[in-house]
Chain A
Amino acid sequence: MHELGIAMQLVDAVTERARGARVRRVVLEIGALTAVLPDALRFCFDLATAGSAVEGASLEILERPGRARCRVCQREFELLRPFGRCVCGGTELDWLGGDELRICEMEVA
């Protein structure tokens, strides 16, 4: 359950940047190829925000698809898991996207 640790870091980061203002909304970008489960993070966000300046804020998660390029044929395709097989049979893939783990923006009042 590393999502709780991540949620706590998230709360620390936005509290610091809010400089005492009340945080209403936090927008994250999470790639499909990261080990972070958006649902688990939403659950932990509520736990981690309790009693903080972020309490009651809504959490918006922009999920980014995984993309890979095959090292054999250079074909690019969508990757649903952190491994896969190209139509040419190649399994050695370079990731082009899907590893995002970012705080994009927040709305404060």
Chain B
Amino acid sequence: MCGVCGCSEPEHESEPLAHAHSSHALEHSHAHHYDPARAHDHVHPHGHDHAHAHDNVHAHGHDHAHAHDRDSRLIRLEHDLLHKNSLLAGQNRAWFQGRAVLAINLVSSPGSGKTTLLERTIAESGLRWKLLVIQGDQATDRDAARIRGAGARAVQINTGTGCHLDAAMVARGVAELDPPAGSILAIENVGNLVCPALFDLGERARVAVLSVTEGADKPLKYPYLFRGTQLVLLNKTDLLPYVDFDLDACKDLLRQVNPDVEMLAVSAKTGSGLDAWYAWLTQRLAIAPQQTAQGAAP
């Protein structure tokens, strides 16, 4: 077997083959004697940096490190650990940009009021915009039914045992919903302050909903999630008189994990503060997608 390219062709051992390895171990090129009977699934761009006969004498210099014994080789990858998700998220993002769809990834703990917020946003949107929803939950389609009841199209994605939405699930949801150009696509993530932080869905902005009943120290307890958001909606502010919630302390802690985040105090129940949220959406929708930051990866 070739110690550099790892080809397992038996002929390598018996008959010398002309080999060339370019500087990159992965995309290295090499010349093989063509055997039409053998299926080749790799491309051979003939960029010969240094050709050599494959006679087991490896007296040639490589400018990349690899274990150069006869039966193992090192491949440098240097890519994102979440490469696959990132690729799909990039495809989603390109699709959204092409149609000027404003995709928002809504994250929060369970019960913070994401669905109530969306119901009210849909009911009060009038002709300002068209809003569609991808609902992520481990089980049931109760939330999608609520959104449809409020007058918007929605698809429910059940993640089963999964604790977050990923870019592939969103791609399936988008294919089913087919949001029209210029619309807003709200992606309501699984209620979870941990796992959704890591998965880029291709959204333009990540919005966290934090309710006053959860406690002011949530941003510090779940810093990864709050680090990656552009906006925090502080919800259930109608309950402030009844709960021990220090609004200033919450803002201060939030700035510690994310100095650039915006915060809006709202009540999805009474409607208090929602005009600022609608203005935020309108403004984002008006900005050309190319001018905004790419991605919301943590």
Contacts and interface: CB of A to CB of B under 8 A. Distances in A.
A47 interface: no
Contacts of A36: 81, 198
Contact of B81 (A10, A17, A107, A108): A10
A9 interface: yes
Contacts of A6: 81-82, 198
A102 B198 contact: no
Residues of A in contact with B, size category: 35 or more
B205 interface: no
Nearest to B223: A82
A2 B81 contact: no
B57 interface: no
A91 B198 CA distance: 23
A83 B77 contact: no
Given A9-B85, A35-B198, A104-B77, A92 B67 contact: no
A85 to B, nearest CB: 8
A105 B79 CA distance: 9
A2 B165 CA distance: 11
Contacts of A103: 77-81, 83
Contacts of B79: 13, 102-103
A18 B7 CA distance: 11
B284 interface: no
B82 A9 contact: yes
B84 A13 contact: yes
Category for how many chain B residues contact A: 35 or more
Given A82-B227, A103-B78, A17 B255 contact: no
B6 A21 contact: yes
Given A35-B198, A71-B259, A91-B256, A9 B74 contact: no
Interface in A69-90: 71, 81-85
Contacts of A106: 74-75, 77
B149 interface: no
Given A19-B42, A71-B259, A83-B223, 12 more contacts: A1-B163, A5-B166, A10-B81, A20-B8, A21-B6, A28-B81, A82-B223, A83-B220, A101-B81, A105-B75, A108-B72, A109-B6
12 contacts: A2-B163, A5-B162, A9-B82, A12-B84, A17-B75, A20-B8, A28-B81, A35-B194, A106-B74, A107-B72, A107-B73, A107-B75
Q: List the 4 shortest-distance A-B pairs measured between CB atoms, nearest first.
A: A92-B259, A35-B224, A2-B195, A82-B223
